[in-house]
Structure 1
Amino acid sequence: MTSPNESRWRGHHRFTFKVPEKMTNEDAATFFCAGVTTYNPLKTHNVGPGSKVGIVGIGGLGHFGIQFAKVALGAEVYAISSSDRKKEDAKALGAHHYLVSSGTADMKKHTKTLTHILCTSFGTDFPWAFYLSLLRTNGKFILVGLPEAPISGIRAGPLVSRQISIVGSIIGSPRTIREMLEFAVEKGVKPWIQKYPMADVNVALKAMHEGKARYRFVLEN
C-alpha cells in the first residue's frame, strides 16, 4: 500500500504485509491505520465476552471499533454519537445499543455500566466527568482520538474510588497488524468504503471535510 503520490515503495521487509487471499486490496488499504488503531487497544485491554464497550464517535475508526468489539471479540457494544443520524449504521455494524451523547437522561441510565470506552473523537468542551461516570469499577477509558485542547476538568475522586484508568493507544506492531488482518477475514470484519478515482482526489477531500465519508474513502489508480 503506497501513499497517494507514489506508485511504488521500497522498505524493510518487517514493514510489509501480505494481504490475505480473501481480502480485497481496497478493503486491506483501510485496515493499516483505522483498523489496527481500534483492534490493538481492544485486544490489549482484554475485551471479550462479558465486556460492555462504549465506542465514542461513529466514523472511520468507530465503525471498525464496533465491528472488532462485537463481531470479532464478542463484547456488548454501546455506540455513542452526538446525534441519532448514524443510529441505523451503528446497528447495521453490530452495535447492541445507541446512545446520543447530548441526551442526558438516556446517558444517565447507563452510569457505571461500561467496562471499557474507546474514544475515537472529541467535540469542543468534551464532558470528561460525564463519560467517566459511565465506567464501572476498574473501567478503562482508552484514547485513540486526539483532543485539540489539553485534558482538563477531571476530578481525581472517581478515578481513585472506582480504580478507573485513562490510557492511550497508537496503531500497533507489525505482528499485531498481521494478526488483525487474518482475524478480520476469519470473523468477517469489513470496512464500509467509498471508492474514488485518483483524479477525483479533491472531490474526496471535500466530501471528507464535510463529514460525508461512510466510512473510509479509497483512492484508485
Structure 2
Amino acid sequence: MANILVVDDELGIRDLLSEILNDEGHQVDLAENASQARAARALARPDLVLLDIWMPDTDGVTLLKEWSSTGLLTMPVIMMSGHATIDTAVEATKIGAMAFLEKPITLQKLLKAVEQGLARTLARPPIPLKTAVPMADFVPEAIMAGGILAVSPDRGLQATQSFMLEKPLRDARDEFEKAYFEFHLAKEGGSMTRVAEKTGLERTHLYRKLKQLGVDLTRGKRGL
C-alpha cells in the first residue's frame, strides 16, 4: 500500500481517482489547490503525487518547480491535464515530473503510470538498517523527547536519533514524524502556536497530524 496525493481542482476528478486508487489498496490524500497540496505534502510525505497542471491559484508546473527548487521533490510526480500542450508536458518532465497523463484519463493508463512511479520509489538505493539523524536545534537543558536525546550546545554534544529502518515505509515514517513533533513540542513548552510556526504547518493540520500519530500533547507542558 502506498500513500498517494491527488491534486486537482475538479471535485469529480478527485473523487474518481480516489475511488480507483482506494480500490487498489492505496491510501489517498486529496488537495484542490496548491496551498492544500503544500500542506498535504508536509503532513503525509506522499510516496507519489498526481498533479493537475491547470489550477486557479498556482498551476501545477509552478508548484513542481517550487518543490524541485526547495528540495521537496523527493517523490515521483505524475502530471495531469486536458488542455496542456506538448511544450508544457516537456517542461514538466525537464523539471522532474516522471510522466504526463492526458485527461480524460483511462483506467489502464492511470494504473500503469502509478505502478511505474511506485516502482521507481522502491528502486531507490537502500538505506542502512540503522542511521543517525542529526538535529540542528537544541533545547536549554538535556531532555528526552520521543527517543531524541537533545542537549545544549555548551555540553559539546549533538542531538541525534536512531531509527530502525527494517520495517514498512509507513511505519518508519510515522516513527520519525512522531519523534520530530515530540521534539518540537518539548522544545516549545507544548505551545501549538510556536510548533506550527516552527514546522510551517497550519494549527488545524498540525493538531490533526499529532492526533493521527498518537502524540501526547501534554508531555511538553509536563517538562517530560
Q: Answer whether TM exceeds 0.5 for this pair.
A: no
**Highest CA radius of gyration, 1 or 2?**
2
